[in-house]
Amino acid sequence: MHIHLSEHFTYPKLLRFTFPTIVMMIFTSIYGVVDGVFVSNYAGKTAFAAVNLIMPALMIFATVGFMLGTGGSAVVARAMGGGDLPRARRYFSLIVLTGAIAGLVLTVVGLLIIEPLCAALGATGELLPLAVQYGRILSLALVPFILQNMFQSFLVAAERPKMGLGLTVAAGLTNMAGDWLLVGVLPWGVAGAAIATVASSLVGGVVPLVFFLLPNQTPLRLTQTRFEGRILAQTCSNGSSEMMSNLSTSLVSILYNFQLMRLIGEDGVAAFGVIMYVNFIFIGVFMGYSIGAGPVISYHYGAGNHAELQSLLRKSLLLMLLSCAGLTAAAVALARPLSRIFVGYDAELLLLTTRGFRLYALSFLAMGFNIFGSAFFTALGNGVISAAIAFLRTLLFQTAAIFVLPLFLELDGIWLAVTAAELLTLFITILFLVTQRARYHYGGA
């Protein structure tokens, strides 16, 4: 049964509406995991370390897509909630065009700086050419990759989360088939993994572009537009938290790699790579729900339905509580079998990775609340508060913890840094939710 943004959302209806986006985010993470599994098991841990060394830097470019998608879907959904569909379509078209242009510019930048960037990140010897090769190939696909990240949010705003899920599954299967062929069967190593990722981004970015260009049954489609600086500024402001979150995650990952290279060398980078791949699956639940619920919150805020807004917040917080507890328990229990999939061929590396992941997994206890809190204020159009939460949890607190905790806990301090950052951010998130109740009329939540 098709669910409209304007409806009253019970727990079952809210879960049905957000479920496709949750699965979409999990599946996106899983096909990223497949990349790592094939590279690690077929190309070796040096190639695996090379991919994980350059990937955080490449993800910095992709943050533009997250910013425009999440920030833009909030702008568009509020226009829809206000009953002005032509204006919503005009904004949507402008934001998509901006994303494509940004992708072209970043492709040129990426190709120019990739080699010195790899060297600056510490790639030497065998690591350097492998990291450069992977980075150059992925730089060529920044336009469809940015569009793919944008359309994940816009398909929800267009009331087609199931289509978003279907496209993500198709893109994931493309990536997995490419990994099997180009890395597992043909000895193409990191180049094969990169080509498979490019192919998947074409499915996830170009297919929805064509869909929105053609007449369709959704509220949104690409139409003639014009430059509106205020709308782009509002989009960037609204989505700044998601951009900050992803940008900070990439920057902090670089810091993790730096500290691990200093403490234990290449094995540390490989272990952290495994943790990040698996970690994305668990975070996908929090991110998927937040992205899926965002347009619903934006719509009802734009329509002035304060009681529904209050209900959505209350239900979301309870769902986050259950998710945080369940995912933490699952991550701790599954740390060893999941790590074995990647590095079962190296007993010492497996032991290192398992311990690291169990300590890292404690962060899930608070992470869901912080991710949803940031997304909630994005949906309300308050990019400043949303960005503040994202900045604190993913950059400021984590950066401090990465350098301070190892002084007392050595290597365990690296793995516990994210937990310390999430717990500190939780207090800030609660403070914002309490102090902003009157302003946004969700009091009593």
3-state helix, strand, coil in the chain (%, to 5): 85, 0, 15
Let me know: does 84 contact 253? Beta carbons within 8 Å: no
| Any domain includes 445 | no
CA distances to 86, 168, 269, 292, 376 from 17, rounded to whole Å, are 25, 16, 38, 7, 16
| Residue 244 · residue 387 · CB < 8 Å | yes
* Cβ proximity of 236 and 67 under 8 Å: yes
On the 0-12 / 13-18 / 19+ scale of CB atoms within 10 A, 12 is exposed
Q: For residue 370, tell me if it sits in a domain.
A: yes
| Contact of 441 with 429, CB cutoff 8 Å | no
Four-point Cα dihedral 105, 151, 22, 352, nearest 10: -10
Look at residue 6 and tell me if it is in a domain: no
3 in any annotated domain: no
**What is the domain count for the chain?**
1
Could you give the 3-state DSSP secondary structure of residue 121? coil
pTM: 0.73
Per-residue pLDDT tens, the chain, 445 aa: give them. 567 777 788 888 888 888 888 887 887 777 777 778 888 888 888 888 888 888 888 888 888 887 888 888 888 888 887 778 888 899 999 999 999 999 999 999 999 999 998 888 777 788 889 989 999 999 999 999 999 988 988 888 887 878 888 888 898 889 889 999 999 898 898 899 899 989 999 999 999 999 999 888 888 889 888 998 889 988 888 777 667 667 777 888 888 888 887 888 778 888 888 898 888 888 889 999 998 888 889 888 888 888 889 999 999 999 999 999 999 999 999 999 999 988 888 888 899 999 999 999 999 999 999 999 999 998 888 878 988 898 888 889 999 999 999 999 989 999 999 999 999 999 999 999 999 988 898 875 4
Asked if residues 125 and 264 have their Cβ atoms less than 8 Å apart, the reply is no
- Residue 47 sits in which domain range? 11-440
**Structural domain includes residue 336:** yes
The model's pLDDT over 197-223, given as tens digits with 9 standing for 90+, comes to: 899 999 999 999 999 998 888 888 898
What's the CA gap between 164 and 158, in Å, rounded? 10
Handedness of CA 244, 247, 253, 259 (dihedral sign): negative
**CA 178 from centre of chain:** 22
Q: Dihedral through CA 164, CA 170, CA 176, CA 182, nearest 10?
A: -130
Instruction: Tell me the per-residue pLDDT of 327-353, one tens digit each, with 9 for 90 and over.
Output: 999 999 999 999 998 888 888 889 999
* 157 inside domain: yes
Q: Which of 396, 127, 41 is nearest to 249 (CA)?
A: 396
> In angstroms, what CA-CA distances link 229 with 99, 142, 232, 235, 381?
14, 23, 5, 10, 16
With respect to residue 265, please indicate whether it lies within any of the assigned structural domains. yes
Report whether 367 contacts 286 (CB < 8 A): yes
Residue 137 lies inside a defined structural domain of this protein: yes
**Distance between CA atoms of 65 and 99, rounded to whole angstroms?**
7
